[in-house]
Chain A
Amino acid sequence: MGFTGNIKWTAGPTWSATLRYGLAVASVAAALGLASALMHFHAPQTFGVFALCAIAVTFWYSGAKPGILAALLSSVVRDLLFDPRTSTESRLLFDLVFLVFALLMMQAVRGRNQLELKVAERTAELTRLNDDLKREIAEHNRVEADLRLSQAYLAEAQRLSHTGSWAWSPPPGDIRYWSEECYRVQGFDPKEGHPRFESLIQRMHPDDQARVVEVIERAVRKKEDFKFDYRIIHPDGEIRFAQSLGHPVLGPSGDLVEYVGTIIDVTERRQAEEERERLREAQADLAHASRMTTMGELTASLAHEVNQPITAAVNGASTCVRWLTRDEPDLAEAREAAAGAIRNAKRAADIINRIRSILKKGESKRQLADVNELIREMIALLRSETNRYSISVRAELDANLPKIMADPVQVQQVVMNLIMNSIDAMKEIDQTRELAIRSRLAEDRHLIISISDTGEGLPQQQKDKIFDAFFTTKPHGIGMGLRISRSIVESHGGRLWAAENSPHGASFFFTLPIPVETQDNAAEKRSDAHTNV
């Protein structure tokens, strides 16, 4: 708040005019009274002194105009009541004294007013500065409180995530900052202060020390980020896994000032990854066992499938020999027959390879796969089985289906399981036995494949259980086929579900995601097809 022009003093401008001029009259009257009293007691006449006092008091407290009135009154009173017989020169002299005194008082009062003005201004300034300072202090306190809170949150976040933060001068420098979590991760006691760089290295597993030092030294030389994994041996002998990240801080001239970074305890994460890996292996083993079991059940059918091309190859070879053993060998015919034999023999080999790949045990290998081709291969492989039960097979496969990232063996296992289930559902029925396999593009960046039959349909009241492990309606079934199929589809990012057909039978649907770049190609193909039409 600044100075507004109001002088705040003991009395004065806030007085009314009556009071101010009244003081002039009263002070002169008081001077008169005092002088009269002294005259009565035959004391030296001092009205002039008292008058000067009255004038001074009036100027000081009432201002210039009342002060001038007091001076005039004093002059009049002195002339009339004290020494009325003095000469004109004497009167003028006293008047001059009063005038000069009045002028001096005016200056004095003006000076006093200016001084008071300055004092008020300075006071207002100081008050304002004081208020500003109080606000700054309050703000500082608030910021400090926020900072403490933020530090507390950060410390808690570090503790929860097992992440510590640090800063050290370029090695072999000192550690400048070492958060609480760093002590915990590295197994040091905070009471002992920042550990030395050498101590950190010594705390590492002996097999990791040289590598870590080399990584750090290389990063420092090149002023680059670094990242490394290592093992820590805690004082109690426990081995923990950690990961450290570092980033260089450079000065204005490009010189290395310090490194800042983090240490993360990744022991639990590593254990979870190992557990996931063990689970994946167990699932792969189970899927393999399931494939082995199913293929074992299909031995007769598979043998028939292989036998057909072998028979054709033998026929071809026999024909070739016949053409060559004629009285006049027909080389062209013999050549043609031999070529046919080779083709059929290779076909037999392909079928065997396909069977071998299905039976192969190994980790899942994702690659770009043509799902339609996988479906066709499985239909061919199971043709003998469908023929055996007089099941007609209809394949309606979208020719524009893009390739997807998938494990071909696992996808064929799903198709095989679903086809076998359909065959089992139709074995005993009297009506038409039809198996329809369809593939198409769905709207949501997925392929959708359906396998539909005209069989017994889904088990009543147990439709929700068919994907449960060990659920089966077959007398000799294990009940893992659908469970494994669903696991395979879901591991590819898809879904597997079933629905009743009308009037009878069931359909199984599964989706598989399309990679983004393949979606663009599929969209182009559909666009071209639309344009060409």
Chain B
Amino acid sequence: MTCQKEGKLVAIVDDDDSVRGTLQELLRSAGFSSRTFESAEDFLGSGHQQSAACLITDIRMPGMSGLELQARLNAEHCRIPTIFITAHGDEEMRFQALRGGAVEFLPKPFDDEVLVESVRAALER
């Protein structure tokens, strides 16, 4: 499967609904449109990997993790600029994420300016 970026949609994947909701509001305040998914499986099943211009995902989630999602998208040649947000960040995880092509690896709670700039940079790719 190949992915084509049809719009400037940001996909947010996180199992915590308060994080999903507030992140969406934050991006909206910065002028970005986004769509939220409560799991990696939901995102893959929705088909939005074809339309998302940027992916913000948690790493530790029930079922498929964020890193597994990254590997799956890479396998499908779907190179969505990915920003990881996590409360469990360690160096090994960070290295794995960046090696897989992540554009940013942010520990929770993150600086909103850093996130917004990362999203802007991702969308301008």
Contact = CB atoms under 8 A, between A and B. Distances in A.
Interface of A: 300, 303-304, 307-316, 318-319, 322-323, 333, 336-337, 340-341, 344, 347, 384, 386-388, 390-392
Kindly state the interface size class of chain B when it binds its partner.
20 to 34
A311 B110 contact: yes
Interface string B35-62: 0000000000000000000000000111
Contact of B108 (A308, A340, A388, A390): A308
Interface string B13-26: 00110110111011
A344 B61 CA distance: 20
Of all A-B residue pairs in the complex, the 3 with the closest CB atoms, nearest first, are A318-B112, A315-B22, A312-B18
A20 B87 CA distance: 139
Interface in B71-121: 85, 87-88, 108-110, 112
A304 B21 contact: no
Contacts of A386: 62
Q: Is the interface of A mostly helix, strand, loop or mixed?
A: helix
Contact of A337 (B29, B62, B87, B110): B29
A300 B25 contact: no
A311 B19 contact: yes
Contacts of B109: 307, 310-311, 313-315
Interface of B is mostly: loop
Nearest to A347: B18
Given A315-B109, A390-B65, 9 more contacts: A307-B87, A308-B87, A308-B108, A309-B18, A311-B22, A311-B85, A322-B112, A384-B87, A387-B62
B63 A323 contact: no
Contact of A316 (B25, B60, B110): B25
Contact of B60 (A309, A310, A384): A384
Interface of B: 15-16, 18-19, 21-23, 25-26, 28-30, 60-63, 65, 85, 87-88, 108-110, 112
Nearest to B88: A304
B65 to A, nearest CB: 8
A394 to B, nearest CB: 12
B25 A340 contact: yes
**Max chain B C-beta neighbours (<10 A), residue from A311, A316, A323, A388:** A311
Contacts of B18: 308-309, 312, 344, 347
B25 A387 contact: no
A340 B22 contact: yes
B102 to A, nearest CB: 18
A333 B87 contact: no
A318 B22 CA distance: 10
A307 B16 CA distance: 11
Contacts of B29: 319, 322-323, 333, 337
Contact of B15 (A311, A313, A337, A387): A387
Nearest to A333: B29
Contacts of B63: 390, 392
A392 B62 contact: yes
Q: Which of B22, B28, B65, B110 counts the most A-chain CB atoms under 10 A from its CB? A: B22
A302 to B, nearest CB: 11
A319 B22 contact: yes
A361 to B, nearest CB: 28
